[in-house]
Structure 1
């Protein structure tokens, strides 16, 4: 499942608050019509088959066809010259972490 950093949660909360979305609203992530890119949009509620990721701070909806692509990623946010920017990073696989030689 897609996870959110604290920065991403704060950015989503800020965007949804500024847009005066209802409590059911959030940010939706989906593939573009040609399925070549991801797009984010502010929506008043998730679509029927969306995966809903809800934290204390934010709601993110991931379209059903996009969810498998993002299932092992983390959404982050940060300030850019153009405003808030979002990025996706692969989640670290704890099984792939090197062993601590002191505990092996």
Structure 2
């Protein structure tokens, strides 16, 4: 299952704090088509029916079935550049 670093959890909480329903909000990672070659990240107010939900320290990530499979042994980290723009990085959990 995808894990979240403390940095990623904080970034997700910050992003969803201003959402219409922050207590249900999170980010959604979904596949583009049938293949696992391209994943997109978007803000979401709630999971889709088939989504897997990952929750860490109050931060929620919703994964569609393809994304859940692709990211099952990965970790999500986050950082900000000098202008405050947040970026997410997926790494192997064993690294």
TM-score range, shorter chain: 0.7 to 0.9
| 1:2-47 residue CA offsets vs partner (Å, 9 max, x unmatched) | 0000000000000000334331121000112474311111111001
Normalised TM-score (structure 1): 0.80
Per-residue deviation, 1:55: 1.9
Aligned length: 93
Matched with 1:100 is none
Where 1:49 maps in the other structure, the secondary structure is: coil
Matched with 1:76 is 77
Q: Unaligned regions of 5+ residues in structure 1, if any?
A: 94-104
In 2, distance between residues paired with 1:76 and 1:22? 21
Q: Which has the larger radius of gyration?
A: 1
Q: Is the Cα–Cα contact under 8 Å of residues 5 and 75 in structure 2 kept in the other structure?
A: yes
Matched with 2:47 is 46
Q: Unaligned regions of 5+ residues in structure 2, if any?
A: none
> RMSD between aligned alpha carbons?
1.8
Where 2:17 maps in the other structure, the secondary structure is: helix
In 2, distance between residues paired with 1:3 and 1:84? 18
Larger RCO, structures 1/2 (Cα 8 Å, 6+ apart): 2
In 2, distance between residues paired with 1:62 and 1:39? 10
Matched with 2:5 is 5
Matched with 1:25 is 25
Normalised TM-score (structure 2): 0.87
